[in-house]
Chains A and B, each alone.
Chain A
């Protein structure tokens, strides 16, 4: 029986049992539904084996939305627990698990995949390419991320969630202080998802550098594509550090090495440094694409070209470089002296300069424009003042002497929510609404969209603003409760009220998707927003090959110039198109990765060894496989094109 004990959740509560039942029932319902409607073949052929960047992007976004709600429920539980002093809704252990999974899920399994999903759908279209450079690798990336995320999520019902914070500081996360398998889940599921992300980084760098349409030199790329290029460079430089740190952590926890432990010369400070050497660039991995999304949307709905294109590019390059030399500001209080802290303070504050350049360029993109307040534009406009507030508090936190007072308090928590929510979350919601018609061929309801926008924006400020005050009043972060005498009660209750507003806003987004899917008009043009870049130059729905004829580009706003100045985008004639074949191997290999990860979490060595052999077998199979792709004939292309034109 002992063998099976470790699979039990160490601190079960009714909520966990209820989730077990709910997860079980949902899985049975999904399997039964697919079987009843005879969709297994469709699912396998069209989705599980696809290498099409658009479908992979959609799957990324679906997974990210699921995770948004998982992380959102965690957040609601935290706000509910702290809404009143000495609340007994959650005990300390549960609260610790909840804030740990909230952080990991939101950053790694919500923000990143949402961004990667949008970049998958949009980037190849914006540069006039037929797909990414390595379509099958792209499928591997997605499935590895997905399996990593699933592995992380089952920790909730099998074996127990990680509870050492999303930063997983040692020695707290060592076997001495975290005895459950929770931190094993952390190390291994992040490792699996991280490999997927690293592959994405390589894939998109090559795609953008090698597959741009003729005439599109680097300084003629749309700003979103620029942000994606820079982001992927950060991924390629930062993620190997995480890979190594997690590997060391895994060895500490599973094989008794002493890299980060308290005994035998292990160093807890080493973990903190490695974590943040990856962790700080990671922040920019989720924020730079957001800057790209806003640049596209603000320019589209101000009906003007982006102001200061060159300085926008330069500032992003500057931010990405600086992002690697500021990591120690996450632990000024570790005792590395005034000299080191002074240097890191200055590098950190320096980031405000290129970021300020971007804010002013966006403001001046509005200048002399003709602003239309659509839902994507509302998110982008709300972003500017809220993000500025987040940014200036970042400068305050950067000042080491004062940070000794902000560190580990709610002030810090509210700072990063003030940059990450208007920065990343608003951006992905804006981008999601903006590119939705290109993905699915109909618009989301503007009316419901505006309701959810106001709920989210106001709810967000009501939730988080009070924490600036409680932080300065000495409320430490990650406390599951506090006594009434501290006086934090009323403001925390206000936060909870705001959190409910946020929850309503997000629920309205789901309702909007449902409503629009049922009732929205399918009769829309290829370019419903009157936009400016190449993704709007192709048909809606987008044919598999994206562009029948590869476009020729002469400016940063090729499609706009084609509409307004009569530039000819599609000069050539239709030729047969080379496309990659679908493959089930990425999915199968990632499933084996899941088994491998699960086996490692529970130290089941024989299964882990078999799974390792399986993973290598998949790679060997790929190495010897002869697959030269296939051609779409000219007749087939013309038939598709005529059908799509006729649909209008």
Chain B
């Protein structure tokens, strides 16, 4: 008996903790439209599932309270019961309805988070290339022509398109309070749509295990108003040194480095694995043979750099 009450208490506690406002959990404390959509989906699913758990628990407690041997006559012989068509149809049909409901929610919201956030459609997204190397993040801003390492400044209220790829193992780019994660891989570029509503500092990290320095592969995210953001960009341009190939190769060596800032981007001499530079042929007929050969050479270069 203890265990059922314990479980109910736990269930109640989780509901309280999840909805509590004192110290909200990161994922449920969104600061942008994508994370907000995801937090809504999570809460919808928690409540739906709480209903399922409740039904099972009520039946369960009823069965083991009522039909325990100590409450039956000694000579009671339980009957032989084959099953019941009606009951079985009920417990197939209701779960199907629940799954159908959740499927609609999933498909709708998955399309939402895979596109420019709602209400941001009229703005030109800011494109930032986020590439990982053991165990750092490099952020290239082609529009502003600057590059940062291990920290990210973004303007609020503007859609941002992260172009993700990796110079090493698969990494996963994740800023929980702005939205869910996506993989950064060596042979293709992934696009992640995010936006920040609220200025502030957020935690970002690689969440996909990538070797011994993985735990510390984090970065700071600073969301600024458009005006402050422009000021920051101007400041970088006035003070930072240009990034060179030698400097960048040094940065790529496995290990941890602090935050740093450069003018220019590494994309100029080491383009991202997209388009003709993609790591493998996706079967598009317009890729000419010499192009894919080039890209292969490009990639052997990348992997050599990591030694």
Give A contacts to B, CB under 8 Å: 91-93, 96, 163-165, 169, 171-172, 176-177, 261-269, 272, 302-305, 307-311, 331, 333-335, 337-338, 341-342, 345-346, 349-350, 352-353, 356-357, 359-361, 363-364, 366-373, 381-382, 384-386, 388-389, 392-393, 395-396, 398-405, 407-409, 457-458, 461, 465, 468-469, 472-474, 476-482, 487
Contact = CB atoms under 8 A, between A and B. Distances in A.
Given A171-B186, A172-B169, A333-B182, A367 B76 contact: no
B41 A408 contact: no
Given A177-B211, A401-B110, A401-B112, A465 B42 contact: no
A401 B14 contact: no
18 contacts: A169-B170, A172-B170, A264-B300, A333-B182, A335-B182, A342-B103, A342-B110, A352-B98, A360-B87, A370-B78, A384-B60, A386-B7, A389-B7, A405-B39, A457-B3, A465-B14, A478-B214, A481-B215
Contacts of A389: 7, 53
Contact of B37 (A261, A392, A401): A401
A144 to B, nearest CB: 30
A399 B102 contact: yes
Interface in B91-139: 91-92, 95-96, 98-99, 102-103, 105-107, 109-114, 134
A393 B280 CA distance: 36
Interface of B: 3-4, 6-7, 10, 14, 17-18, 23, 25-28, 35, 37-39, 41-42, 45-46, 49, 52-53, 56-57, 59-60, 63-64, 67-69, 72, 76-84, 87-88, 91-92, 95-96, 98-99, 102-103, 105-107, 109-114, 134, 168-170, 172, 174, 176, 179-183, 185-188, 190-191, 203, 205, 207-215, 279-281, 292, 296, 299-300, 302-303, 306-307
A333 B91 CA distance: 33
Nearest to A337: B114
B198 to A, nearest CB: 17
B91 to A, nearest CB: 4
Contacts of A367: 63, 67, 81
Contacts of A381: 64
Contact of B185 (A269, A371, A408, A472): A269
B92 A357 contact: yes
**Across the A-B interface, the 10 shortest Cβ-Cβ residue pairs:** A404-B180, A308-B83, A335-B190, A392-B49, A172-B169, A408-B207, A366-B63, A401-B109, A92-B212, A474-B26
Among A405, A458, A461, the one with the most B-chain Cβ atoms within 10 Å of its Cβ is: A405
Given A388-B57, A401-B110, 4 more contacts: A262-B279, A345-B110, A392-B52, A408-B208
A96 B211 contact: yes
A187 B17 CA distance: 43
B30 to A, nearest CB: 10
Contacts of A476: 174, 205, 207
B78 A369 contact: yes
Contacts of B114: 337-338
A408 B181 contact: yes
A447 B205 CA distance: 49
A311 B186 contact: no
B205 A176 contact: no
Among A367, A386, A457, the one with the most B-chain Cβ atoms within 10 Å of its Cβ is: A367
Contacts of A478: 209, 214
A305 B68 CA distance: 16
A388 B61 CA distance: 14
A338 B60 contact: no
B106 A400 contact: yes
A309 B81 CA distance: 10
A348 to B, nearest CB: 10
A268 to B, nearest CB: 6
A478 B59 CA distance: 38
Nearest to A173: B169
B181 A265 contact: no
Among B77, B95, B109, the one with the most A-chain Cβ atoms within 10 Å of its Cβ is: B95
A177 B88 contact: no
B169 A169 contact: yes
B27 A349 contact: no
A265 B37 contact: no
A395 B88 contact: no
A338 B109 CA distance: 9
B67 A370 contact: yes
A265 B296 contact: yes
B215 A482 contact: yes
Contacts of A458: 3, 6
Contacts of A469: 14, 17, 25
Nearest to B299: A263
A401 B172 contact: no
A92 B217 CA distance: 13
Contacts of A369: 63, 67, 78
A261 B299 CA distance: 10
A367 B72 CA distance: 13
Given A333-B183, A335-B183, A474-B26, A384 B88 contact: no
A396 B45 contact: yes
A363 B69 contact: no
Contacts of B299: 262-264
Contact of B26 (A163, A304, A311, A472): A472
Contacts of A308: 82-84, 88
Given A345-B103, A402-B38, A396 B207 contact: no
